[in-house]
Structure 1
Amino acid sequence: MKWYAMAAICVLLIGLYGCEAPPDAVSAGSAPNDADARSTDREEDRDRDRDRHRGTEPVSTVVDGRPAALVDGRGIMWGELRRELTEAAGAQILRELILDRRVRDAILEAGIGIGPDALARERMLMLQSLHEEPNTAIRLLEELRKRQGLGERRFNALLRRNASLRALVRDDVEITDNMVRRTFETLHGPKRQPRLITVASLSKAQQLRERLVERDELFSDLAAEYSTDESAARGGLLEPISRSDPSYPEALLQELWALEPGAVSDPILLDEQYALITLVRQLPGDDVDFEDVREDMARRTRLQQERLRMDQLARRLLRDVTVTIFDEALKDSWERSR
């Protein structure tokens, strides 16, 4: 359970649009042949499409009137796709474009240039963050792009956006020896592996704790049934966690390090949810000496601090903006995403 938002996966249900010439009429009293039946089916398709689009905006641009795809020889026009696409992903794309524009303005004002080397470095950093083994990292990046719907254009925009944000915050980043040692502890120090349940209310958390403590029900079963966290599919099992791991709330870390194996915590307030954890196992630290990896720990610490400041700057740039939306589908998408 890492505390960041995940992008939604949307499925587009696209209607058919008939574009053939009108079929020949069937003579009165004659039985329709197969061709006539197919023609009638096509007429019904067109009628359904006209009903589907009745009351919606007409084709308003040359692009709207162009075919975007053919399905069984029949065209699907951009005008048909546009509104559905906008409702499905318009807010996300608008937010990216707003951030790109604000970042570009900030880069120009600061007089900073972002060249191909900076983009290549961002891609390298992304790969290194996914896995140490290069081929595995490349595979994981492709899977990530597929899940997030990041085609070539949006992926390149992401690299440029990250490179620009990093350039804007780089001079503000300062690291201390204590921060470097915390990074070392996170990677090489002792760890504890918990199971987690998150629920929306304190009363629900208390009910589940009672079932765990007094009725001796299995934590994994209740996590799978009730937890709102993504770890529910694994019975609430999380990866081993260091006491210094900045990816987890301090309240959860404190409770985890106070637990005895098998014990269940009291409800923990995390943002707008309540959590229960139980300690599954304790793992000792490895035998790596801090001085042997100090340089690498300092590099990792700087990257962590850069990432933190990049996120803060991106939120600030998105917050200090006035957005006026004229398109109804885009407005609907925007309001639903807030």
Structure 2
Amino acid sequence: MVELLLRTHGPVLFNELVVIARADAEAQKRGLTLRDEQIDEEHQRFLRSMVDPLSGLGGEEFNRAEAEKVLDVVLAEKGLSREEYRLGLKRTSLLRLLVKGEVAVSDEEVEVEVRRRTGPRVSVRHIQVGSLLQAEQALSELRAGRPFEEVAMRLSGHRASAPEGGLLPPFSREDPRVPATLRAAAFALEPGQVSDPIRVGNWYHLLRVEGNVPPEGTPSESARDTVREELRRIREDERIPGVYQRLLNEANVEIHDPALRSGYHRLDPARRPKWAEE
């Protein structure tokens, strides 16, 4: 059993431990300290994005207890333990700590993004459910003539929009707060048209376009600050994989266990560090 675990989960877990150790050492050299609150913030962001792919548009606070239950289901489906998940959280939090000072967002970039978000937009209602079967059942009701608003209020699992009949805040064609697949579908629909089920992560969505929305006026300074912070986080997310790979490849590691070495040989070459190929 131990040999099987080393061949399967072993390399992935070992990579995590190597990167965490090296990231922690690099953070200490820079005088940076990872706080428990930062790990919890990373956890909350993941929970919210998992249960609500549209969380970037705002809305009420998510139910953390319910989100934790969903996480348990997702981890079980992937064959992962909470301990493995926590390792991943610590790794991501450490890497974000390292890249945070390397990311800058200019005023010009903020203005470009503000114009993108406040330009021509679309008004959409949606229904979010947990399975394709539920989505097809909701779609069947809509095709039978039931009002979209009624079906959304009764069946949608999206806590922020369900009480409003599924109505979302308007968004533009390139608004990064909305998953790309939903944006593409929304702008491909005519007003009043309902989409087929669209999968985003663990959820299925049905969309109905209400109509086009004209550009907004001049946004407030607080809105610009929000855009700046969101752009900063996007840039951090883009840099994290490269730092992960650098720390992994620069590690001075020798593998003596044959089962673990065998596991590395089975690993996708893109995830295999240089020292595992020697």
- Normalising by structure 1, we get a TM-score of 0.45
Aligned twin of 2:29: 109
Distance 2:215 2:28 in 1: 48
Change (3 A) 1:333 1:183: farther
Is the CA contact 1:187–1:242 (under 8 Å) kept in the aligned structure 2?
no
- State yes or no: 1:126 paired with 2:56: no
- Once the two structures are TM-superposed, the CA of residue 99 in structure 1 deviates from its matched residue by 0.9
Measured in 1, the distance between the counterparts of 2:37 and 2:109 equals 28
Who is 1:331 aligned against?
261
Q: Which residue of 2 aligns with 1:174?
A: 104
- Gaps (5+ residues) in structure 2? 56-60, 123-170, 190-208, 270-278
1:160 to 70, 85, 90: 90
1:250-329 correspondence runs (5 A):
284=212, 291-292=219-220, 293-329=223-259
Cα distance in structure 1, aligned partners of 2:69 and 2:218:
31
TM-align CA RMSD: 4.0
Distance 1:105 1:328, change over 3 A: same
Could you say if the C-alpha distance between residues 114 and 332 of structure 1 is closer, same or farther in structure 2, counting changes exceeding 3 Å?
A: same
Contact 2:13 2:84 in 1 (8 A): no
Deviations 1:185-243 (Å, cap 9, x if unpaired)?
Answer: 3698658xxxxxxxxxxxxxxxxxxxxxxxxxxxxxxxxxxxxxxxxxxxxxxxx9944
Residue 88 of structure 1: aligned partner? 8
Structure 1, 122-131 or 99-108: larger mean CA deviation? 122-131
Where 1:326 maps in the other structure, the secondary structure is coil
SS at match of 2:245: helix
Match of 1:227 in 2: none
Cα separation, partners in 2 of 1:290 and 1:128, compared to 1, 3 Å: farther
CA deviation after TM superposition for structure 1 residue 144, in Å: 3.7
State how far apart, in whole Å, the 2-side matches of 1:151 and 1:290 are. 48
* Structure whose alpha-carbon radius of gyration is higher: 1
Letter in 2 for 1:305: R
Greater relative contact order (CA < 8 Å, ≥ 6 in sequence):
2
Distance 1:300 1:188 in 2: 18
Q: How far is the alpha carbon of 1:290 from its aligned partner? A: 6.1
Give aligned pairs, total: 187
**Deviation of the 1:87 alpha carbon:** 1.6
1:226-241 equivalences under 5 Å are none
Q: Which amino acid aligns with 1:126?
A: F
CA distance in 2, matches of 1:311, 1:113: 20
1:273-302: CA deviations, max 9, x gaps? xxxxxxxx9x85676556143232222111
1:170 touches 1:306 (CA, 8 Å); kept in 2? yes
CA gap 1:302/1:139 in 2 versus in 1, 3 angstroms: farther
Tell me the CA shift for residue 100 of structure 1: 1.2
The one-letter code sitting in structure 2 at the alignment partner of 1:156 is R
Cross-structure match for 1:229 = none
Gaps of 5+ in 1: 1-80, 192-239, 249-255, 262-280
Structure 2 match to 1:99: 19
1:26-52 Cα deviation digits (max 9, x unpaired): xxxxxxxxxxxxxxxxxxxxxxxxxxx
Q: 1:186, 1:244 within 8 Å by CA — same for their partners in 2? A: yes
Q: Which has the higher helix share?
A: 2
Q: CA deviation at 1:140?
A: 4.5
Percent of residue pairs bearing the same amino acid type: 21
One-letter code of the match for 1:294? R
Range that drifts further, 129-138 or 301-310: 129-138
Measured in 2, the distance between the counterparts of 1:111 and 1:314 equals: 19
Q: 1:188 to 1:93 in 2, by over 3 A?
A: farther
Mapped contact 2:120–2:215 kept (Cα < 8 A): no
Q: The residue matched to 2:265 in structure 1 has which SS?
A: helix
